[in-house]
Amino acid sequence: MATRERLNPVGNHTVANQPPPLADYNVFEADTVLVEAVDREGAEWATGRIAAVGEFAGSAEAQELGRLANENGPTLRTHDRYGNRVDEVEFHPAWHDLLGTAVEHGLHSSPWSDPRPGAHVARGAAFICFSQAEAGVGCPISMTYSVVPALRAQPELAAQWEPHILSSTYDRRNAPAPDKRGALAGMGMTEKQGGTDVRANTTVARPVNGGGPGAEYELTGHKWFMSAPMCDAFLVLAQAEGGLSCFLFPRWTPDGERNRFRLQRLKDKLGNRSNASSEVEFDAASAWLVGEEGAGVPTIIEMVNHTRLDCVLGSTTGMRAGVAQAIHHASNRSVFGTVLAEQPLMQNVLADLAIESEAATIAAMRLARAYDEAIAGDAEARSLKRVANAVLKYWITKRAPAHAGECLECLGGNGYVEESGMPRLFRESPLNSIWEGSGNVQCLDVLRAMVKSPASVESFFAEVADGGGAEPRLAAFAADLRDELPGDVATIETRARRLVERMALALQASLLVRHGDEAVADAFCATRLSGDWGRAFGTLPAEVDFGRIIERHAPRV
C-alpha cells in the first residue's frame, strides 16, 4: 500500500509519509477471522446484521462520536437549582448517540428477543464490531444483556421487566420504566469493605410485608461501585434474614416516585471514561427479592457469567482494533526508504500481534457457541462453558494490556498522542481483567470447578483433544497439563495461575489447529506451546510466514 502525500491548504507545506485515517470501512467485512468464525459457529444467518454494525463502527462518524464521548465525560448532578435531590448523570450527546445505536442493533437483548441457534455468537460478533467505535457504552449494554437469565429466576419480575429490556428503542429520559419506550439494567455488588468477598456485604434488606421471593424489601446501605447509574433497574446484593440475597432495585418505585437512593460521587477512572461509575447509598430504598433469601450469589451469578463472556469479547475487540491500526500504519509509512510493514523486524512484531488476536477471536466465538448450545440443553456444552468461561476470561483479558502497548508502539510517537486513539485503547485494556472478578478470582473458580464439577474438566480436555490428533506439539502439551492436575494438592492454589494459563493456551491451540490459518496455528504451537519464543511480542522464529499472517489480518479499506 503506497504512502500518500497531501497538500496543506495553508502555504506550500506538504504532509508526507503519514497514513490516511483508518475510517469509513466495514470492521466486520475487513476481519477475515471474525467472518469465518461467524459462519463456523452457527450464526451465518446474521451476517447482514453484523455487517450493518461493522459499517457503523468503522465509519468516521462513529469514531468521532467515540472521541467526543471520551473527551466530554459524564457529570453528576445531585440537586436541581432549587435544592431538590435529583441524582442524575449528564452525558454528552455523543454518548446517547452511541448507546442508542447499540440498542437499535439489539446488542443488549438480541439472543433473548430472537433466541434462535447461534444467537449468542451473532450478538458476540456484533459486540466485537461495535466496541471498536467506543467501549464505554458496552457496560450498560453488557449488563442489560446479562440481567435477563438472572431475572428469570423470578418469573413475575421477568414478565414485568423483559418487555422493556427487550425493546430496541433507547429512551434516555429519567422516568418510570412503564412510561418509557425501553429500559436498561445495571448491577451493584461491590462494597467498601470488600469487592470480591460479597458475603461480607453490609447492606441490609428488610421485608415490607412479610418478604419472600418476588416481594418488596427496603434496602439500607451502600455500593462502592455501581456502573452506568442512569440505568432503569439494577440487580444488587443485600443481607436479608435468610442470608445474602439478590434484589431488583428500580430507579423509580411503582407509584411513580424517585426511589430512595443517593449518588455520592462518580469514579475518576483510568479508562472507560465515557461511562459513569458511581458510589451509591440506599436509604430504605424499595427493591424486590429475586429468588430465595440466602441464594443471592447463585442467583446473580447467571448475570455475572454472561458479563464475563463480554469481558472476553471486549478484550478480543481491543486486540483486533490494535492489530488493525498497527498494520494500517506500518503499511502506509516508510522508514529508511522502505515501507515499514515490509521490514523483517516489524513483520515479526505485526505477525505476533496478529497471532494473539486470531487466537482470542476464535476462542471467544467458540465460547459464545457454548452459551448457545448450553441454553439449548446440551449438557456437554454446559460443562465446557463452566470451565472455559473462567479460563478464557483470565487469559485473554490478561493479555490485552501488553498487546495494546505493543500495538501503540508500532505507531511510534504518533501512537502516544491522544489523536491517534491508541492511548484510549491502552487505558481501556486493563478493565476487563478487573471487571467481574480479577485474575485470581477466575483461577480460583477453575479450581472450584475441578472439585465440584469434574465433568466440566473432562469436557474441557475433550475439546482440546479434538485438535491434538492433528498436532503432536499440542498432544504433548495437553498430556503434560493433564499430569499437572491436580498435582500436589497443598500447592495447587499457588500454581493456579500457571495451570489456567496453560489450559487457555491448550484450548486456543486446539481451536487454531482445527479452524485457524495454517501459518497462524503452526506459529502459535511453535511459540506458545513449544517455547520457541522470547518474552516480548516480535520474537517469533525466522521460518514463520510473516507476510501471509499480516495479509490475513490487514484491514481491507
Q: What is the pLDDT of residue 11?
A: 63
Question: Mind giving me the DSSP string for 321-335?
Answer: HHHHHHHHHHHT-EE
Q: Is the dihedral of CA 220, 206, 306, 380 positive or negative?
A: positive
Q: What is the CATH number of domain 176-298?
A: 2.40.110.20
Angle at alpha carbon of residue 427, lines to 425 and 432, rounded to 5°: 90
Q: Which string of b and e fits 188-214 if b means at least 16 CB within 10 Å?
A: bbbbeeebeeeeebebbbeeeeebebe
Strand, coil or helix: 10: coil
> Residue 172 belongs to what H/E stretch?
none
Note whether 265 and 279 are within 8 A (CB).
Answer: yes
Cis-peptide, bond into residue 250, ω within 30° of zero: no
Q: How far are the Cα atoms of 134, 217, 254 from residue 171, in angstroms, in the given order?
A: 20, 27, 18
User: Is residue 391 classed exposed, middle or buried when 0-12, 13-18 and 19+ CB atoms within 10 A define those classes?
Assistant: buried
> How far is 409 from 411, CA to CA, in rounded Å?
5
Q: What is the pLDDT of residue 12?
A: 65
Note whether 103 and 182 are within 8 A (CB).
Answer: yes
> How far is 197 from 480, CA to CA, in rounded Å?
34
Q: What is the pLDDT of residue 2?
A: 46
Per-residue pLDDT tens over the stretch 278-289: 999 999 999 999
Neighbouring residues of 60: CB distance < 8 A, sequence distance ≥ 6: 21, 23, 24
> Terminus-to-terminus CA distance in the chain, angstroms?
11
Residue 291 CA neighbour count, 13 Å, CB half: 26
> How far is 53 from 34, CA to CA, in rounded Å?
13
Question: Looking at the DSSP assignment, which residues form a beta bridge with residue 234?
Answer: 186, 249
Which grid cell sits at 372? 448457545
> How far is 306 from 360, CA to CA, in rounded Å?
17
Q: How far are the Cα atoms of 91, 111, 138, 228, 493 from residue 266, in angstroms, in the given order?
A: 12, 32, 18, 10, 36
Digit-by-digit pLDDT tens for the chain (557 residues) are 444 455 556 566 788 999 999 999 999 999 999 999 999 999 999 999 999 999 999 999 999 999 999 999 999 999 999 999 999 999 999 999 999 999 999 999 999 999 999 999 999 999 999 999 999 999 999 999 999 999 999 999 999 999 999 999 999 999 999 999 999 999 999 999 877 888 889 999 999 999 999 999 999 999 999 989 999 999 999 999 999 999 999 999 999 999 999 999 999 999 999 999 999 999 999 999 999 999 999 999 999 999 999 999 999 999 999 999 999 999 999 999 999 999 999 999 999 999 999 999 999 999 999 999 999 999 999 999 999 999 999 999 999 999 999 999 999 999 999 999 999 999 999 999 999 999 999 999 999 999 999 999 999 999 999 998 899 999 999 999 999 988 788 899 999 999 999 999 999 999 999 999 999 999 999 999 999 999 999 999 999 999 999 999 999 77
Q: What is the pLDDT of residue 10?
A: 59
pTM: 0.96
The full set of domain ranges for the chain reads: 176-298, 439-535
Q: Which residue has the cell 445505536?
A: 101
Q: What is the pLDDT of residue 1?
A: 45
Q: What is the pLDDT of residue 199?
A: 85
